[in-house]
Amino acid sequence: MKFKTTRIEEEYSELQDKNAQLHALLVMLDGYTRAKFSKEIVLTHLFRTPEEQVSLYAATEPSKRPAKSPHQSWEAVDLRSTTFTEAEHKDMCDMLNKTYKNKNAKPVAFVHAIAGGAPHFHIQVLLS
């Protein structure tokens, strides 16, 4: 597993205490992608402050901006998607979404982009 920044690596060291299920899924996914695709996952975003959330969604139409992100409560992580092919994205999403189910039926894994941003792989384990 690799980290885009030192900050993300430091946040990852806190993740097991903040959200053990999400941490376990990342460890499992890293092992899965190494074994199946000979590729490592790269964490690009973990914890997000309210100010970072506002800044990130500045280019998004106001009515489509989420009020809050699961990143703000240690419930989500973003991974670099350019490392993997579309078929590999699908495989990874299928595996994660079959392995774990969020209580509110929201998907655990998907690839998406926000206005002004590149597509990325999003994984969320919602605690509430």
Give whole-number Cα distances, 56 to 10, 35, 105, 118, in Å: 21, 33, 25, 12
CA-CA distance, 26 to 100, in Å (whole number)? 12
Can you give the residue ranges of every domain in the chain?
A: 2-124
Q: What is the pTM of this model?
A: 0.90
**pLDDT tens across 94-120, in order?**
999 999 999 888 999 999 888 877 889
User: What average pLDDT is seen over the chain?
Assistant: 93
Q: Which CATH class is domain 2-124?
A: alpha beta
**pLDDT tens across 55-93, in order?**
888 888 888 888 889 999 999 999 999 999 999 999 999
pLDDT of residue 2: 97
